[in-house]
Chain A
Amino acid sequence: MTVMRDTVVKSLAKITIQGNEDGLIPEYDVLENLLPAALLNSFSERIMAAAPQEKKSMVADGLVRAAYECGYHTGCGIITSDVFNDVVLPMVTEGEKDILRGAFAAFTAWGWAKSGIVQLKAGEKMVIRANDYYEADSGGDGLRAYMLRGLCQAFFDLTYAAPYPDGMDTYVCQQSKGIEVGDPHGEFIVTKKQAAG
């Protein structure tokens, strides 16, 4: 037995969230929001377009960073949540690998990306393929699934780096294919971050 993606997706997809009486969504140890995907895509597209050439990479890094920190902190809340405990953990037989399988099933169920693991070398490398993701609809040039890059990196850090919250920035994710540039799917490769210098 391993984590069965369809079971996780079907269970988690039923969950809908919306603001409470204060208009807030406190879940997974963070405040959640539920925003139009078009708004987020539009911001990425326009801030990248507005940035001068010498700042484009800094802006792209900033967009990845936003998703990365979101994914790292929220991800910790997700994989320690009751729903993850109830749905995913009973199927975990392969340790970290199964936790990651569960995490990517959750990515799918919650509409971030219909994605899963293609290759996994524990603690070293992970290749993710996404057959659908909302950033694929974004305008702009080049590979631009900033959010998904950040999330892939965050979940690999959560799984294989030092325990939360000390494992940040151990790994890095690069996008190698993108639906937004005409590839049949998005592909994301997480590897260990090279030491600076």
Chain B
Amino acid sequence: MPNNAEHIHIADNTHFLKGSLSLTNITDLVQFLAASYKSGMIHLHKHPAGIEGKIFFTAGAITNVSTDELSGLGALSEIMNWDQGEFQFNPDVTSIEKNVGLSVQHAIIEAAVLHDQRITNKPTSHIDITPGEGSGEMEMNQRDSTTVLNDLLMIPGIDVVVVVGRDGFVIESVGNSSRVNIDELGASLAHAINAIEEMGNELKVSLFQDMFIEYGKAVIMCRPVGDAIAAVTAPDASKLGIVRHKAKKYFEELVLLF
């Protein structure tokens, strides 16, 4: 549903922050504003389509998102992938209507999931693989694991990527791993994952899918990839949402390799 002006109460239209979407990642911007506990609205214009979008915050939480065509998480999911256009943040602009009501991290993750679902339903995908094939097969057109790990490492906020066997064998690692004993990290992850899977079995719930461990500002994110476990460490936990969103396709690619 298009955004409606009468839902907006403008308290102060002083321009606070503006820029180009080709230079600024919208997810990073949203996380930055949320971390600053801002209230206000990001007003976006997508080029060349000329579509408008609005994201409203109240005290660091996203309350309302809309585009000319969508509203709520669907709109956020759409906006997160705009890479051409302009944005402008207007502080203290609030929306009367609430169509999201999630923390920024949560909203980004949910929007990322929606986006991925849309991508999966399209005939072509971002990466040249066929998700869902057996993890034991190595196809000739697959990229090798080192390439995929290096792509993961290019995601802003990730400083180490490691793939560990269920027995704790460090299959491969890239990144700034000098500050950690990578073998110890592998063993610790395997022990933790095994304990979590045992718990899942005991509780008769679904298989383990994700694990996030926060240590102060830093976070370790783990996912099963085939018969192995991939983990990334991010020194800044506030980037978790974007890291998780951007890492997803690479994790899916790794599933086919291990």
Measuring CB to CB, which residues of chain A are less than 8 angstroms from any residue of chain B?
A: 1-6, 98, 101, 104-105, 115-121, 124-125, 127, 129, 131, 184-185
Contacts and interface: CB of A to CB of B under 8 A. Distances in A.
B188 to A, nearest CB: 9
A120 B168 contact: no
10 contacts: A3-B167, A4-B167, A4-B194, A5-B186, A117-B167, A118-B228, A119-B135, A121-B136, A125-B136, A185-B172
A129 B172 contact: yes
A5 B146 contact: no
Contacts, number: 64
A104 B170 CA distance: 13
A120 B136 contact: yes
Interface residues of B, number: 25
Contacts of A3: 167
B165 interface: yes
Given A101-B169, A115-B169, 5 more contacts: A2-B194, A4-B168, A119-B138, A119-B227, A124-B136
B198 interface: yes
Contacts of B167: 2-5, 98, 101, 105, 116-117
Nearest to B193: A2
Interface of B: 135-136, 138, 146, 165-172, 183-184, 186-187, 190-191, 194, 198, 226-228, 257-258
Contacts of A6: 168, 183-184, 186-187
Contacts of B228: 118
